[in-house]
Amino acid sequence: MMWTAVLVTAVGCYLLKLAGLSVPPRVLERPLVERVADLIPVALLSALVAVQVFARGHEIVLDARALGLGAAVVLLLLRAPFLVVVFGAAVVAAGVRLL
């Protein structure tokens, strides 16, 4: 099942890239298509943050992950690089669990 998902994603993502370079612009270059395509990453990434941090199974919980996210926000406000943000959040969450 996981391999199927990996391959479906690989083929699909490649075709999406190739389509952009190959399809005549007038087919896809419409204001509505552009607006929605611009907003999809915003909606999906935000939903992924919420689910990753606050969901456990079918429950909404507040645990060490929320403090990790808080650390990520502070690091992003300080303009820290990507790796520092990601591992900074991990270190904070791991530290909280040790307490």
Partner 1 sequence: MTDPPLDPRERSSVIRDSLGVGIATGAYGVSFGAVSVASGLTVWQTCALSLLVFTGASQFALVGVVAAGGAPLSGALTALLLGTRNTLYGLRLAPLLAWRGVRRVLAAHVLIDESTAMSVTRESREAARLGFLVTGVSIFVLWNAATLAGAVAGNALGDPRRYGLDAAVGAAFLALLWPRLHRRRNQLVAVAAAAVALGTVPIVPAGVPVLAAAGVALVAGLLTKEPEQ
Output the smallest distance, CB 93 to partner 1, in A. Answer: 3
Q: Are the beta carbons of 73 and 49 closer than 8 angstroms?
A: no
At its nearest, how many Å lie between partner 1 and the CB of residue 62? 12
Q: From the CB of 79, what's the least distance to partner 1, in Å?
A: 10
CB of 35 to partner 1, least distance (A): 4
- Residue 56 pairs in a beta bridge with 59
Residues 86 and 61 sit within 8 Å (Cβ to Cβ): no
Cα Rg of the chain, angstroms: 19
User: How many angstroms separate the CA atoms of 59 and 40, rounded?
Assistant: 25
Which residues have C-beta within 8 Å of that of residue 52, sequence separation ≥ 6?
Answer: 65
